[in-house]
Structure 1
Amino acid sequence: MPRPWAIISSGCRMSPRCQASIRRNSVATRWRSKVFWSGNSTMNESMSTRCKSPARAVSLSFLLLAPLLLQAQSRTVLDGAYSKEQAARGEMEYGANCAKCHEGADVDGPPLTGDPFIDRWREDNLGNLFTFISTRMPRDNAGKLSPSVYRDLLAYLLAANDYPAGPKELAEDAIEITQLVGKDGPKPLPTNALVLVSGCLAAGANNTWNLTNAAEPARSREGDRTTPAELKRSSARPAGTLTFRLQNLDDLGPGVKPEAHKGQKVQAKGVLIRQSNNDRINVTSLEQVGAACP
Structure 2
Amino acid sequence: MSAYKIASMSGPCQSRTQQKGMATKGHRTHKDVSILFPSLMFLCFFVAVPFIDAWSQAPAGTVLEGVFSEVQAKRGQAAYSENCGGCHGGDLEGISAPELKGNHFLERWREDMLDTIYTYIRENMPLGRAPDAPRIPDNEYVDILSHILKVNGYRTGESDLTLDLLEKIMLVGKNGPQPVPDGSLVLTVGCLSQARDGVWILFSATEPARARRSTTSTPAELNASSQKRLGTLIFRLADLEAVPDFAPDSHKGHKMQAKGYLTRQPGAERISLSSMAMLDSMCGQ
- Superposed counterparts of 1:19-34, under 5 Å: none
Q: 1:184 aligns with which of 175, 181, 185?
A: 175
Determine if the alignment matches structure 1 residue 293 to structure 2 residue 283.
Answer: yes
Structure 1 position 121, deviation (Å): 0.7
Is contact 1:72-1:177 (8 Å) kept?
no
1:134-190 deviation digits (Å, cap 9, x = unpaired): 111111238921111011011011001001101110012211111100111111112
Rounded to whole Å, the distance in 2 between the matches of 1:87 and 1:263 is: 51
- Superposed counterparts of 1:1-294, under 5 Å: 73-103=59-89, 107-141=95-129, 144-253=135-244, 255-294=245-284
Length-normalised TM-score, structure 2: 0.74
Rounded to whole Å, the distance in 2 between the matches of 1:77 and 1:106 is: 23
Greater mean deviation of Cα atoms: 255-264 or 101-110? 101-110
User: Could you say if the C-alpha distance between residues 108 and 229 of structure 1 is closer, same or farther in structure 2, counting changes exceeding 3 Å?
Assistant: farther
SS in 2 for 1:282: strand
Structure 1 position 73, deviation (Å): 2.7
1:240-282 deviation digits (Å, cap 9, x = unpaired): 11111111112334x1101111111111111111112231111
1:73-115 deviation digits (Å, cap 9, x = unpaired): 3410000010000000000000000111112898332111011
Give 2:34's aligned residue: none
Is contact 1:235-1:290 (8 Å) kept?
yes
Structure 1 position 291, deviation (Å): 2.5
Length-normalised TM-score, structure 1: 0.72
Rounded to whole Å, the distance in 1 between the matches of 2:87 and 2:164 is: 29
| Aligned-pair Cα RMSD in Å | 2.1
Instruction: Letter of the 2:274 partner, please give it.
Output: T
Q: Which runs of 5+ in 1 are unaligned?
A: 1-70
Is contact 2:258-2:276 (8 Å) kept?
yes
SS in 1 for 2:280: strand
Larger radius of gyration: 1
Q: Which runs of 5+ in 2 are unaligned?
A: 1-56
Q: Percent identity?
A: 42
Structure with the largest fraction of helix: 1
Higher relative contact order (CA 8 A, sep 6+): 2
